[in-house]
Structure 1
Amino acid sequence: MKPMFALFTGVACLSTAVVGLSTTAALIVVEHTGPAWSGLPNAALVLGSAAGALASGTLAARYGRRLVLVMMYTAAVVGALIAFAGVLGGSVLALVAGMPLIGFGNSGAQLSRYTAADLSPEHRKGFALSTMVWAGTVGAVAGPALIAPAAARAEAASLPALSGPLLAGAIVVAIAVIAVAALPRALAAPVEKSPRRERMSMRNPLILGPLVAMAGAQLAMVAVMTMTPVQLHQHGQGLDVVGWVLSAHLIGMFALAPLSGWIADRWGGRATIFCGIGTLTVAAVTTFGAPTSHHVGIPIALFLLGYGWNLVFVGGSSMLSRDLPADQRTRAQGTVDAFVWGTSAAASLFAGQLFGLGGYALVAVAAGVCALAPLVVLGRRAVVPGTAEKAGLR
């Protein structure tokens, strides 16, 4: 199996499973405890993704990416099986306990984009990592479609209906484990050996620039995306409209990733981030100016929100893959991903508070501020001896 195909298969399987598992887990919690705790499984998954990203950077630096991908995906299989067992036993606690392990698998999928970049020549790194982001399109389509037939199979086997998608998710992730196990053994060798005192500080602009840009984009995207269904519901729109708007958002998030990768290869990661910040700002302004336009304004805003996030995510990842010294980048990449996933949890929490204080318009304003704030840091340029490109010019 070719390495890029193996990585793509793994990410596609993980994204499919995560979408299906998180949706199903929320429905199960609603059945058992009511809607007040429906966000708990996703919060546990996000926190698991953050912890997994931090661990994967450290472990990959010591043992190589191949082994870490196998470990993280295997953890997700175990997490899905724990959740499945929890449903069979009627334990919501066991269901939620499995979600952080699924988040570990999700962090492995994020690590795959950097692995794809490492396997590609310098002039193709942006496009290579963007194909891993594009694999999320598979999950956006297949994940929800997996739920109904899996539930029907479970009922036919005299099991709780919603246990079916959990078991199906475990099977899908197991396919990802098999795929990444076929990666070249060269990826198993340790890739970083630099002493701790020689590692770059996270305050170095080579790291800090992508970090704050990706975190700002994540905050802006998650805040608006989280509150959009609430806004539509309050203005009398049904689930069909909610589904259409979120579909436009998901298309923006994933479908155009190869274009973002091409931009990063052609003009550099920094320019790609600036394009993303501009797109996110337009999305925030559109959201603020047309908060009830569910036919035109909100779908366009959510599409731009998704694609702005994509541009920043691909651009920042490209900078972290190109600009950092090879013997130090793996730990830095894991730390950045951990911070970005942590901001997702914060955005989900504070978006509701902002919505309660000032409605959808205030959420849009906050999103615009979060998107623009990284410009302060991106204006700084790092100087690394020996190459102008590593001075942050890309």
Structure 2
Amino acid sequence: MIVEVPAGRATRTRRPMAALCSGTALMNAAMAVASVAGTLVAGDRLGTGWAGVPATAGIIGTGAGALVLTRLTNRAGRRAALVTGYVMAAAGACLAVAGVVAGDMIGLTAGMALLGLGNAGAQLSRYAAAELHPAHRRGFAIGVVVWAAAFGAVGGPLLLDASGDTATGMGLTSRSGPFLLASLACAVAALASVAAPARAASAAAPRMSLRRLARTPAARSALVVMVAAQVVMVAVMTAAPLEMHLHGDGLGAVGLTLSAHTLGMFALSPVTGRLFDRFGARPVMLAGLLLLVVSAGSAAFPPVRPVALFLLGYAWNLCFVAGSGHLARDLPEVERPHVEGAVDAAVWTVAAGAGLLSTVIMSAGGYGALTATACAVAVLATFAQARLRGSR
């Protein structure tokens, strides 16, 4: 059956959806280039074991930002929260430029944390998009916003070489170039978000603790799947640029491989959203977890690594879109914003540990040991999700 969207509704949602998609694309471009550059700079200065510190700071910033921006949304509306997040991210990118030029790892790490605050806004944009659509189309709405991120997440790494050349031409170190690009992208995202939906969420529901999340069936199911997907992906991908760098690959080769991964993460999001709307959360989440097992286990082998990382990206997409849609569709409206922010905070906080441990495990046992560990996490999550109730 084909469900038509009334012309009036389509007109009212077009502009805010364009703003949400634009901000998400630009912020993902900023995080993609900044995370790669931060890992490489830290690897050169601190050694392999500490190379994941800047990227981990970005993940921690995203987790903290999910809570901060959710509270700001409840008080001032989604538009104000998004603009604030992107402005802070632009400032963080400028701070990171100064840190790279001066060899100040504390400044670089602090800048990455502020970039994470803006990334939290981009992540929460998918729920703002869902609110603009009826329940039977929320999976597709989330998929569209996640799909828009592909333009930045795929295009950003392709500009690593060019941004480095630009920085060199300005008399700066080439590794500061990606952060210059990130600062520009975040500033434009803030301007685009002026057209984002202004609606404030209800503050009536109590704040969410992990215990309360565990007692909410939809939140519990989504949390298991989204945490597993984020942990596996962050662990494998934080160390991937360093693994390639240590084997002599340049920024161009690293950028192409990362673009293949991010294409998998985002390009098929509308398809995933349709699958969610058609079949529900449970089968899509289980399919994502199974693909996560296969792709993580294959990523250690260089000949198939680009394909494995593409599939890893799509496995994450299945888990992320279906888990987000589960929250946006199946939670009571009064609880929804608080649970969504709390789940995102929990997902990114746990993933921060994965990002930091990834290079430590790689330093101790190699990239193969890291991917084997990630594969084991995915297997455990698959069994856990198969036993959980509360997803359909």
TM value normalised by structure 1: 0.84
Equivalent of 1:311, from 306, 311, 318? 318
Whether 1:51 and 2:57 are equivalent positions in the alignment is no
- Aligned partner of 2:305 in structure 1 is 298
Shift of residue 320, structure 1, vs aligned partner: 0.8
CA distance 1:23–1:138, change in 2 (3 Å): same
Equivalent of 2:146, from 130, 133, 146? 133
**Mapping of 1:378-389 within 5 angstroms?**
379-382=387-390
Out of 90-99 and 100-109, give the one that drifted further.
90-99
Equivalent of 1:343, from 350, 353, 356? 350
Shift of residue 328, structure 1, vs aligned partner: 0.8
- Cα distance in 1 for partners of 2:256, 2:298 equals 17
Q: Is the 8 A contact 1:205 1:377 kept in 2?
A: no
Shift of residue 202, structure 1, vs aligned partner: 0.6
**Taking every aligned residue pair, what percent have the same amino acid on both sides?**
41
**Mapping of 1:64-213 within 5 angstroms?**
64-87=77-100, 91-185=104-198, 187=199, 189-195=200-206, 201-203=212-214, 204-213=216-225
Q: C-alpha offsets along residues 348-374 of structure 1, whole Å, 9 cap, x if unaligned?
A: 333345556665554444333322333
Whether 1:253 and 2:265 are equivalent positions in the alignment is yes
- Cα distance in 1 for partners of 2:363, 2:96 equals 33
Q: C-alpha offsets along residues 159-198 of structure 1, whole Å, 9 cap, x if unaligned?
A: 455444433322221111111112243x2x3433235599
CA distance 1:222–1:37, change in 2 (3 Å): closer
- Aligned partner of 2:230 in structure 1 is 218
Q: Secondary structure at the match of 2:212?
A: coil
- Cα distance in 1 for partners of 2:31, 2:182 equals 8
Q: Is the 8 A contact 1:279 1:308 kept in 2?
A: yes
Q: Pick the structure with greater CA Rg.
A: 1
- Aligned partner of 1:327 in structure 2 is 334
Equivalent of 1:19, from 5, 28, 32? 32
Shift of residue 303, structure 1, vs aligned partner: 2.3
Shift of residue 124, structure 1, vs aligned partner: 1.5
- Cα distance in 2 for partners of 1:47, 1:198 equals 18
Shift of residue 309, structure 1, vs aligned partner: 1.2
Computed over aligned residues only, the root mean square deviation of the Cα atoms, in angstroms, reads: 3.1
Give unmatched runs, 5+ long, in structure 2: 1-13
Q: Is the 8 A contact 1:82 1:97 kept in 2?
A: yes
- Cα distance in 2 for partners of 1:161, 1:50 equals 29
- Cα distance in 2 for partners of 1:194, 1:275 equals 33
Q: Give the letter aligned to residue 121 of structure 2.
A: G
- Cα distance in 1 for partners of 2:234, 2:204 equals 36
Q: C-alpha offsets along residues 288-309 of structure 1, whole Å, 9 cap, x if unaligned?
A: xxx54x33x4333322222111
Out of 6-15 and 21-30, give the one that drifted further.
21-30
What is the aligned residue count?
376
Q: C-alpha offsets along residues 100-124 of structure 1, whole Å, 9 cap, x if unaligned?
A: 1111000100000111111112222
- Aligned partner of 1:283 in structure 2 is 295
TM value normalised by structure 2: 0.84
Shift of residue 37, structure 1, vs aligned partner: 4.3
Give unmatched runs, 5+ long, in structure 1: 383-391
Q: Is the 8 A contact 2:147 2:268 kept in 1?
A: yes
CA distance 1:304–1:161, change in 2 (3 Å): closer
Q: Secondary structure at the match of 1:135?
A: helix
CA distance 1:117–1:378, change in 2 (3 Å): farther
- Cα distance in 2 for partners of 1:197, 1:353 equals 32
CA distance 1:64–1:200, change in 2 (3 Å): farther
Q: Is the 8 A contact 2:39 2:238 kept in 1?
A: no
Shift of residue 152, structure 1, vs aligned partner: 3.7
Q: Is the 8 A contact 2:26 2:149 kept in 1?
A: no
CA distance 1:230–1:194, change in 2 (3 Å): closer
